[in-house]
Amino acid sequence: MYIIIIGGGRVGYYLTKALLSEGYEVVIIEKDASVCKIINDELGGVCIRGDGCEAVTLAEQGTSRADMLIAVTGDDEDNLVACQVAKYRFNVARTIARIRNPQNEIVFRKLGIDITVDSTNVILEHIKGELPTYPLTHLKALRETGLEIVEVRIPPDSKAVGKKIKELSLPEGSKLSLIIHKSQKPHLPSADTTIRDGDRIIAVTAPEQEEALRTVLSGT
Amino acid sequence: MKAVIMGCGRVGARLAGLLDADGHSVTILDTDTYSFRRLPPTFKGNALIGNGLDQEVLKRSGIEEADAFVATTQGDNRNIMAAQIAKNIFNVPKVVSRIYDPLRQELYSTMGLETISPTTIFAQILREKLES
């Protein structure tokens, strides 16, 4: 599989390293000559100096035979254009763009980018998961299903504590998939499982039911 | 007509002045207030500070009711992205953007964006001057 990466910053560098060790054919395109040199000294001649948004540069790297183009520069607009040029000029099947402004996820999807990775949101979710005031954390969006996997922590004053799952009025389409008790043992929940203070519940839900699910499980 | 212009450089400021003098309602956006010095003293439109790639800023500029959107920042990719947001997210009827890179301009015009490459046009004019 041939993968082209645009942007030789930290994300591009470590991504290339990981993909090379998986045995993929990888090329990074980076504007800055000194950054290129550092990458080539460390990883071998994988880095090409050039503008990854320019059709000429992409043509030289044989983009029409690439299976995937991943744009991870620090600028959302550059990542958008690199992916669009790859997709509409070179028919690259899969384009992935890093975004920094969470709003751009919807914009990019609408403009034909296959996958976006929102680095700001990833960091935010990790930090929010550590805050006591955020009992619901997004673990993963299940692409193309419209569903997401979330973790809900049960606070001691939740009205769900002491209730059986069948007694809770869970929103339609939300399913509790796993319960981890304070003892750190995972359980597959059944209708008769009792919710306890400090439980961590892994659930699958539609984003629009997220608030209802949070209220049922952690509301006071 | 209500027009939103992104980028108050020489071209953006001049266009804003022309449209304003013709009696149109103009809002011009730039990330740097210092750029607004280029606007003519008679300019009666709005000069708004903010990044035109940000949908909140675009909404504040009145893009939802705009008849036209023009992207004239220094960055081709910024212009391309803003133009696509105006066209595909806010459904602005007339969207024009400047793209310096002729190849990028060609690609996006085949994709349905209305684009102008000053590079191509100016090179042609120069050629005509020299060959005539």
Q: Is pLDDT at A134 greater than 80 in this prediction?
A: no
Please report the pLDDT score of residue A126 as a whole number.
80
* Residue written as token pair 């120069």: B126
- The mean pLDDT of B18-35, rounded to a whole number, is 96
Number of Cβ within a 10 Å radius of residue A95: 26
How far apart are the CA of A131 and the nearest CA of chain B, in angstroms?
28
* CATH number belonging to domain A2-123: 3.40.50.720
Q: Is pLDDT at B20 greater than 90 in this prediction?
A: yes
Q: Is pLDDT at A173 greater than 90 in this prediction?
A: no
Least confident range from A25-34, A69-78, A103-112, B82-91: namely A103-112
State residue B34 phi and psi, 5-degree precision.
-60, -30
For residue range B52-101, what is the model confidence (pLDDT) as tens digits? 999 999 999 999 999 999 999 999 999 999 999 999 999 999 999 999 99
Percentage of chain A lying above the pLDDT 70 cut: 99
Quickly state the pLDDT bin for A163 (edges 50, 70, 90). Answer: very high
Over chain A, what is the mean pLDDT?
91
Please report the pLDDT score of residue A133 as a whole number.
67
SS (H, E, C) A86-107: HHHHHCCCEEEEEECCCCHHHH
Number of Cβ within a 10 Å radius of residue A62: 13
The closest CB to that of A89, out of B55, B85, B107, belongs to: B107
Chain A contacts in chain B segment 54-113 (CB below 8 A)? 54-55, 75-78, 80-81, 84-85, 88-89, 101, 103-104, 107, 111
Please report the pLDDT score of residue A113 as a whole number.
94
Q: At what angle do helices B102-110 and B76-84 cross, to 10 degrees?
A: 10
Whole-number Å distance between alpha carbons of A38 and A28: 12
A-B C-beta contacts closer than 8 Å: 50
Q: Is pLDDT at A35 greater than 90 in this prediction?
A: yes
Q: Is pLDDT at A67 greater than 90 in this prediction?
A: yes
Number of Cβ within a 10 Å radius of residue A43: 16
How far apart are the CA of B132 and the nearest CA of chain A, in angstroms?
32
The closest CB to that of A55, out of B85, B88, B103, belongs to: B103
Contact residues for A48 (Cβ-Cβ < 8 A; gap 6+): A27, A28, A29, A30, A36, A57, A60, A61
For residue range A86-118, what is the model confidence (pLDDT) as tens digits? 999 999 999 999 999 988 988 999 999 999 999
Q: Is pLDDT at A83 greater than 80 in this prediction?
A: yes
Domain covering A131-218: architecture: 2-Layer Sandwich (3.30)
Q: How far is CA A207 from CA A122, A172, A176, in A?
A: 17, 12, 14
The closest CB to that of A107, out of B80, B85, B111, belongs to: B85
Going along chain B from its start, the domains and CATH numbers come out as 2-131 (3.40.50.720)
Q: What is the ipTM of this complex?
A: 0.88
Statement: the pTM of the whole predicted model exceeds 0.95: no
Whole-number Å distance between alpha carbons of B68 and A8: 37
Q: Where are the domains of chain A?
A: 2-123, 131-218
